[in-house]
Structure 1
C-alpha cells in the first residue's frame, strides 16, 4: 500500500483556502478524460446525483454531478453522497489495491449521505476495470 508523508501545514492551509469550485473544475476535467477514454463510464443510476470528494489530509473538497451520462462540476455545496479519505487512501482505491469496504471498516474512508447511492457507487467502482498504467505500481511501499 502507498504510504505518503504527512503534507506540510502550509500546503494543507492553502488547500483549505482554494475554492471548491476551482478544484471541482480540475477534478471534473480528469473525470471527463477518463470517461472519453472509456475508463470510467457512469451508470444511468447516477443521473442527476451530486457528489463531494474530501481529501482530508490536503484540505481539498471537490463537488461534481452526473448529467446526461457525463460528469459536470457542481456549484451546489449540498451533495447526495460524500466520500472523505486521505490522498493515499483515495489513490489506493483508484489503483484497486484497496477496496472501499476495507477502508470503510478501518475508518479510513468516511461515507455520508444516501447510503443506497453509496453502495451503488462502490459496486460500480469495484467492477470498473482499471487501465494497465494505473494498476502498475510506480511507487514502492
Structure 2
C-alpha cells in the first residue's frame, strides 16, 4: 500500500456512504450526458456496488430511467458487485484491458446477478472512449501503480 492509498483508505472509512458515492455518480452521469457511456436498458432499475479494494472505497449506485443515481444506502443487497484495485479499474477505463482479461487474471471480481453481470461486461467492453481517456487514465495510474507480479 502506498502512502496515497493508505491516506485515501483512512479518509473513505470516515466518510458517509452518500459522500463516497457522489463524485463517482456525478462523473458517470456526466459521461452518460456526453454520449459516451450510455447504459443499456438492461441496467435500468438495478443497483450496483463498486468496490476499490486498495483504497477501501465502496460506492453504491443505481440506474434509474437510463440515468445514474447514488444509493440506495439502506443496507439492501446490490444486484451486482464489481471489485478490483485502482490500477485495474484504470486499465479497464482506458481500454488497456477488457473485463474478461481482468476477470480471468483474478484482478476483477464480479458477483451477484450473472445475467446482469454479462450485460455490464458487454457494455463496458463495447463503450466508445474519447481519445483523451487513455492518456488521462495513464497519468492517474502513476499515482496507483499495480503491484509487481512474481515471475
Fold-level match, TM-score > 0.5? yes
Q: Per residue, is there more helix in 1 or in 2?
A: 2
Larger mean Cα displacement after TM superposition, 10-19 or 86-95? 10-19
Question: Deviations 1:22-73 (Å, cap 9, x if unpaired)?
Answer: 1111111001110111010011111100001001000001111011111011
Provide the C-alpha distance between the structure 2 equivalents of 1:59 and 1:16, rounded to a whole number of angstroms.
Answer: 7
Matches within 5 A, 1:34-73: 34-73=31-70
**Equivalent residues, number:** 138
Report how far residue 6 of structure 1 moved. 6.5
Report how far residue 21 of structure 1 moved. 1.4
Whether 1:25 aligns to 2:11 is no
* Conserved? CA contact 2:51–2:84, under 8 Å: yes
Query: Which residue number corresponds to residue 110 of structure 1?
Result: 109
**TM-score when normalising by structure 2:** 0.83
Report how far residue 10 of structure 1 moved. 3.5
* Conserved? CA contact 2:5–2:54, under 8 Å: no
**TM-score when normalising by structure 1:** 0.89
Provide the C-alpha distance between the structure 1 equivalents of 2:10 and 2:94, rounded to a whole number of angstroms.
Answer: 27
Provide the C-alpha distance between the structure 1 equivalents of 2:63 and 2:48, rounded to a whole number of angstroms.
Answer: 9
Whether 1:128 aligns to 2:127 is yes
Report how far residue 9 of structure 1 moved. 2.8
Query: Which residue number corresponds to residue 97 of structure 1?
Result: 96
**Structure 2 unaligned blocks of 5 or more:** 146-151
SS at match of 1:130: coil
Identify if the C-alpha distance between structure 1 residues 11 and 99 changes in structure 2 by more than 3 Å, giving closer, same or farther.
same
**Structure 1 unaligned blocks of 5 or more:** none
